[in-house]
Structure 1
Amino acid sequence: MKKLFIVAVAAVLVASMVPMQAQDEVLLKIGCQDEPKTLNIWKATDVWTTHVVNWFYPTFYYRKPVTLEPLPDICTISLDELRANSPDGLTYTFPLRDDVSWDDGTPLTAYDYEFAYNIIMELEIPDFLPAYEDVEYFKAVDDYTVEIKLARCTPQFEESVIFSIPVPIHQFEPMLIEARATDVPLQTFLDLSVDNPLSAGPFSFGQWEKGAFVKLVTNPNYHGKGRTLMVNGETITEGPFYDGLLLKLYGTTDAALLGIQKGEIDYIWWNLDPGYIAQLLGNDKVTIEKADELGFYYLAPNIAKEPFDDLVLRQALVYLVQKDFIVSRVLQGYGGEAHSVVMPAAGDWYNPNINMYGQGMSKEERVAAATEMLTAAGYTVPDVGYAEGGVIKLPDGTDMQPFEILTPPADYDPMRAMSGVLVQEWWREIGVPVTAKPTSFGEIVHKTFEAMTFDWYILGWRLGGTGYCDHMRYFFHSDQAVPDGNNPMSFKNPEVDAYLENIMSLCDRDDLVEAAWKAQEIIIEEVGYCPLYYRTMNEAHRNDTFTGWFTQLGGIAGVESPRSCLLYLEPITEEPGVEPEDGDGCLGTILIAGMLAAGAAIVYRRRK
Structure 2
Amino acid sequence: MSDNQTDSGRRRFMKGTGVAAVSLGLAGCSGGGDEGTETTSEGTTSEGTETTESTPTEAGSAEDIEEGGIFNFGMGQPPNNINPIASSSAYSGVITDRIYESGAAIDPVNFEMHPNVFTDWTSEEMDETGDDDQPNVRLLFNVRTDGLTWNDGTEFTAEQVVWSYNYLLEQMPGAYVASLNAIDEVSMSDESDWDCEMILNSPVGTFAFDQFGIPILPKHKWEGVSDFSTYQPYENDGPVGLGPGVVTQYQPDTSIEVSFAEREGEYNLASLPWREEVNGIIAGGPFIDAMRISVYSSESALTQAFLEGEIDSLYDNIRTSSIDEVENTDGVELVDGFDTGYSHVSFNLRRTPLDDLPFRQVLGFAFDDVYWVQQLQRGYAQKGDFVMPPGYTAVRPETSNNAELLTAPATNAFDFRQGDSPGAVDVDGVRSFLTEGQMITGEGGTYAGFDYPGSLTGVTASQTEPKHEYTFGPVESSVLRQSDADPDQEIRVDGETITSINDGPLTMFVDPPQDSPQMAKMTENWVSMLQQIGIPVEQQVLSFNTALTRVYSEENFDMFEMGWVNLSPFATNTLYGLFHSDNADDHSVAEGDDEENNTSTSLNNPMGYGLFEDATADDLISTARTSLDTEARNAAAREAVEKIYLDFPTMVTMYNVVKWPVNSAEWDGFLGDIPGPGSTYLGVQMLQVHQAGSGSE
TM-score (structure 2 length as normaliser): 0.71
Q: C-alpha distance in 2, partners of 1:131/1:554?
A: 23
Aligned partner letter, 1:392: I
> Which residue does the alignment assign to 2:344?
298
Equivalent residue for 1:378, pick from 469, 472, 480: 469
> Which residue does the alignment assign to 1:202?
244
Alpha-carbon shift at residue 247 of structure 1 (Å)? 1.2
> Which residue does the alignment assign to 1:170?
220
Q: Does 1:254 align with 2:310?
A: no
Q: Does 1:157 align with 2:207?
A: yes
Aligned partner letter, 1:397: E
> Which residue does the alignment assign to 2:528?
425
Task: Check whether the contact 2:78–2:253 (CA below 8 A) recurs between aligned residues.
Answer: yes
Aligned partner letter, 1:276: S
> Which residue does the alignment assign to 1:117?
165
Q: C-alpha distance in 1, partners of 2:575/2:367?
A: 23
Deviates more, 1:392-401 or 1:541-550: 392-401
Q: Any idea what SS the aligned residue of 1:104 has?
A: coil
Alpha-carbon shift at residue 270 of structure 1 (Å)? 2.2
Task: Check whether the contact 1:499–1:519 (CA below 8 A) recurs between aligned residues.
Answer: yes
Aligned partner letter, 1:224: L
Q: Any idea what SS the aligned residue of 1:538 has?
A: strand
Q: Which has the higher contact order (CA 8 A, sep 6+)?
A: 2
Structure 1's 470 and 522: CA in aligned 2 closer, same or farther, altered over 3 A? same
Alpha-carbon shift at residue 48 of structure 1 (Å)? 0.7
Equivalent residue for 1:531, pick from 652, 655, 660: 652
Q: C-alpha distance in 1, partners of 2:393/2:673?
A: 16
User: Which of 1 and 2 has greater Rg?
Assistant: 1
Following superposition of structure 1 onto structure 2, how do residues 115-514 of structure 1 map, counting pairs within 5 Å?
Answer: 115-141=163-189, 145-176=195-226, 179=227, 189-195=228-234, 196-218=238-260, 219-220=263-264, 221-227=266-272, 229-230=275-276, 236-352=282-398, 356-359=412-415, 361-363=417-419, 366-376=426-436, 377-381=468-472, 386-387=483-484, 388=486, 391-398=490-497, 400=499, 401-482=504-585, 483-491=601-609, 492-493=611-612, 495-514=616-635
> Which residue does the alignment assign to 2:151?
103
Alpha-carbon shift at residue 529 of structure 1 (Å)? 0.4
Aligned partner letter, 2:631: D
Structure 1's 369 and 515: CA in aligned 2 closer, same or farther, altered over 3 A? farther
Following superposition of structure 1 onto structure 2, how do residues 44-123 of structure 1 map, counting pairs within 5 Å?
Answer: 44-77=87-120, 82-83=121-122, 90-123=138-171
Q: C-alpha distance in 2, partners of 1:479/1:150?
A: 17
Structure 1's 119 and 367: CA in aligned 2 closer, same or farther, altered over 3 A? farther
Q: Any idea what SS the aligned residue of 2:233 has?
A: coil
Alpha-carbon shift at residue 354 of structure 1 (Å)? 5.7
Q: Does 1:550 align with 2:671?
A: yes
Alpha-carbon shift at residue 242 of structure 1 (Å)? 1.7
Task: Check whether the contact 2:315–2:679 (CA below 8 A) recurs between aligned residues.
Answer: no
> Which residue does the alignment assign to 1:569?
689
Q: C-alpha distance in 2, partners of 1:475/1:235?
A: 31
Task: Check whether the contact 2:118–2:141 (CA below 8 A) recurs between aligned residues.
Answer: no
Q: Any idea what SS the aligned residue of 2:353 has?
A: coil
Measured on the aligned residues, the alpha-carbon RMSD in Å equals: 3.0
Q: C-alpha distance in 1, partners of 2:87/2:301?
A: 26
Alpha-carbon shift at residue 33 of structure 1 (Å)? 1.4
Alpha-carbon shift at residue 462 of structure 1 (Å)? 0.8
Q: C-alpha distance in 2, partners of 1:301/1:360?
A: 18
Structure 1's 150 and 402: CA in aligned 2 closer, same or farther, altered over 3 A? closer
Q: C-alpha distance in 1, partners of 2:293/2:377?
A: 27
Deviations 1:281-329 (A, max 9, x none): 2111110111112311111111222332233322222222222331111
Task: Check whether the contact 1:62–1:70 (CA below 8 A) recurs between aligned residues.
Answer: yes
Task: Check whether the contact 1:113–1:165 (CA below 8 A) recurs between aligned residues.
Answer: no
Structure 1's 128 and 296: CA in aligned 2 closer, same or farther, altered over 3 A? same
> Which residue does the alignment assign to 2:637?
516
Deviations 1:46-69 (A, max 9, x none): 111111112222222222342232
Q: Any idea what SS the aligned residue of 1:405 has?
A: strand
Task: Check whether the contact 2:172–2:180 (CA below 8 A) recurs between aligned residues.
Answer: no
Task: Check whether the contact 2:160–2:218 (CA below 8 A) recurs between aligned residues.
Answer: yes
Deviates more, 1:47-56 or 1:409-418: 409-418
Aligned partner letter, 1:507: L
Task: Check whether the contact 1:318–1:357 (CA below 8 A) recurs between aligned residues.
Answer: no
Q: C-alpha distance in 2, partners of 1:369/1:193?
A: 54
Aligned partner letter, 1:159: F
Q: C-alpha distance in 1, partners of 2:123/2:247?
A: 38
Structure 1's 290 and 467: CA in aligned 2 closer, same or farther, altered over 3 A? farther
Q: C-alpha distance in 2, partners of 1:354/1:291?
A: 26
Alpha-carbon shift at residue 108 of structure 1 (Å)? 1.8
> Which residue does the alignment assign to 1:594?
none
Alpha-carbon shift at residue 28 of structure 1 (Å)? 1.0
Alpha-carbon shift at residue 464 of structure 1 (Å)? 4.4
Q: Any idea what SS the aligned residue of 2:91 has?
A: helix
Structure 1's 315 and 76: CA in aligned 2 closer, same or farther, altered over 3 A? closer
Structure 1's 535 and 137: CA in aligned 2 closer, same or farther, altered over 3 A? same
Q: C-alpha distance in 2, partners of 1:398/1:464?
A: 39
> Which residue does the alignment assign to 1:601?
none
Structure 1's 200 and 470: CA in aligned 2 closer, same or farther, altered over 3 A? closer
Alpha-carbon shift at residue 245 of structure 1 (Å)? 1.0
Q: C-alpha distance in 1, partners of 2:281/2:644?
A: 44
Alpha-carbon shift at residue 383 of structure 1 (Å)? 7.5
Task: Check whether the contact 1:462–1:554 (CA below 8 A) recurs between aligned residues.
Answer: no
Q: C-alpha distance in 2, partners of 1:396/1:408?
A: 33
Aligned partner letter, 1:394: V
Aligned partner letter, 2:187: K
Q: C-alpha distance in 2, partners of 1:190/1:448?
A: 17
Q: Any idea what SS the aligned residue of 1:128 has?
A: helix
Aligned partner letter, 2:300: D
Task: Check whether the contact 1:65–1:552 (CA below 8 A) recurs between aligned residues.
Answer: no
Q: C-alpha distance in 2, partners of 1:414/1:452?
A: 26
Structure 1's 567 and 355: CA in aligned 2 closer, same or farther, altered over 3 A? closer
Alpha-carbon shift at residue 424 of structure 1 (Å)? 0.9
Alpha-carbon shift at residue 467 of structure 1 (Å)? 4.5
Alpha-carbon shift at residue 276 of structure 1 (Å)? 1.2
> Which residue does the alignment assign to 2:70?
27
Gaps in structure 2 of 5+ consecutive residues? 1-66, 128-136, 399-408, 437-467, 586-600
Gaps in structure 1 of 5+ consecutive residues? 1-23, 180-188, 575-608
Structure 1's 298 and 449: CA in aligned 2 closer, same or farther, altered over 3 A? same
Alpha-carbon shift at residue 191 of structure 1 (Å)? 3.1
Structure 1's 86 and 568: CA in aligned 2 closer, same or farther, altered over 3 A? farther
Aligned partner letter, 1:223: N
Q: Any idea what SS the aligned residue of 1:200 has?
A: coil
Task: Check whether the contact 2:417–2:430 (CA below 8 A) recurs between aligned residues.
Answer: no
